[in-house]
Amino acid sequence: MTRSNGDDQTSVCVLTPTGRGAVAVVAVAGRDAVKFVDGCFLASNGRSLDRQPLSRIVYGHWGTVEGEDLVVCRRDEHEVEVHCHGGVQSVAAVVSQLVAAGCDEIPWQEWISRQHECPLEAEARIALAEATTSRTALILLDQLQGALRREVEAILAEIQSGEIAAAEARVDCLLANFSLGLHLTSPWQVVIAGRPNVGKSSLINALVGYQRAIVFDQPGTTRDVVTTHTVIDGWPIELSDTAGLHATTDSLEVAGIELAHAQLARADLVLWVEDATASDSMELLKQQASDLGLELPSRQVLVLNKIDLADQPIPANAIATSALTGQGIEHLLAAIVQQLVPDAPEPGSAVPFNMRQASLLLAAKEACEQGHQANASAALDELLVRGE
């Protein structure tokens, strides 16, 4: 089942996160897998592992009869799974004895890579471990089932039959999905900016509370940034309040401004918030952006909050909300999704989702532009074939 790594080495790999569950799974694969595990494992029924039936759970002890009790399962001639207690020490005891016996310990990502002929599918399986919503998991599952591989194969076939322009157009379509792909495993960054007291923190609560889908809250990595993880329409989102900008009314603290700059620079979307009761709220919004020396980023939503207190009309390019009454929050949620994911991919679509894929697709695109058919093919080939 597991692809050989091309030599006679037997590998051991911890497949489960250690210290965070009742049971851990340690896999051993390679020519001497059965022999190595047999050297450490004493089956309760007294038989050696090669005399145990395949795919049957065997109870026993590790190392000595007093050793930890665990179970072992021989998957096939060259692969054995050890299921031990999930604690750090139990896992270390199993792995260290196998390493002492001559096994080579490898990370789980490498283990998964060896189980797939195509690196795109291995990468999808690895990325699936980090998908936190069913929507993102389903898109990665499509890639695991070959959506991206088939598209790359089709593009390669086009290049090889000289249809360079058509191939380039298809590469462009794939690259257009890349931003979405990157955010299948890490959340979109949505930053809420605005003067103190306009209701930024209240809006975060309203956005998260409305959706009732908090994954977890964490204190900011720096004193001034508070982030909240949530899910909007199936997309993972990290909301952060630019607490650093709270200093902007009087003196602009250098540290606060730098932090806000960094935060705004890496934001996928900025929600600029102003008080709807301020008569010149739109001017105030523009003023803030220029105070910060920022061009307004391309992806932004203008929000006029405290609409429950305002009686003047709201400009068409802004969204009116009340964090207090919930008015307009649904509209704001829809606007956030519209900005981040204007076209959600159809089921089964090809979506590239990591930097390796994006840079090879870019290389293929450039080669197409320059008419270097061979270079374009080479870049696409590299997507499909595992490097050594």
**Chain residue at closest Cβ approach to ligand GDP:** 199
The number of residues that bind ligand GDP (CB under 6 A) is 15
**DSSP class per residue in 321-358:** --TTT-TTHHHHHHHHHHHH-SSPPPTT-----SHHHH
Judging by DSSP bridges, how do beta strands 11-14 and 104-105 pair with one another?
A: parallel
Beta bridge partners of 62: 41
Q: What are residue 194's phi and psi, to 5 degrees?
A: 160, 170
- Residue 281 binds which entry of ligand GDP, Zn ion, none, CB below 5-8 Å type-dependent: none
The number of residues that bind Zn ion (CB under 5 A) is 3
> How many residues would you count in the chain?
388
Q: Tell me whether residue 240 or residue 349 sits nearer to ligand GDP (CB atom).
A: 240
User: Is residue 303 within 8 Å of residue 323, measured between CB atoms?
Assistant: no
Extended strands (E) in 102-224: 104-105, 188-194, 217-218
User: Is residue 52 within 8 Å of residue 84, measured between CB atoms?
Assistant: no
Q: Is 193 in the site for ligand GDP (CB under 6 A)?
A: no
In angstroms, what is the minimal distance from the CB of 197 to ligand GDP? 5
- Residue 350 binds which entry of Zn ion, ligand GDP, none, CB below 5-8 Å type-dependent: none
Indicate the helix (H) or strand (E) that contains 29.
strand 23-29
Q: Tell me whether residue 200 or residue 365 sits nearer to ligand GDP (CB atom).
A: 200
Those residues with Cβ within 8 angstroms of residue 35's Cβ, 6 or more apart along the chain or in another chain: none
State the greatest distance between any 2 C-alpha atoms of the chain, in Å, as a whole number: 85
Q: How far apart are CA 59 and CA 45, in angstroms?
A: 8
> Contact letters (x/-) for Zn ion, 162-201, by CB under 5 A?
--------------------------------------xx
In angstroms, what is the minimal distance from the CB of 339 to ligand GDP? 21
In angstroms, what is the minimal distance from the CB of 309 to ligand GDP? 5
Q: Is 202 in the site for ligand GDP (CB under 6 A)?
A: yes
Beta bridge partners of 58: 72
> Contact letters (x/-) for ligand GDP, 326-345, by CB under 6 A?
--------------------
- Given 252, 324, 358, 378, the residue binding ligand GDP (CB under 6 A): 324
> Contact letters (x/-) for ligand GDP, 285-314, by CB under 6 A?
--------------------xx-xx-----
Q: Tell me whether residue 180 or residue 323 sits nearer to ligand GDP (CB atom).
A: 323
Binding site for ligand GDP (CB under 6 A): 194, 196-202, 305-306, 308-309, 322-324
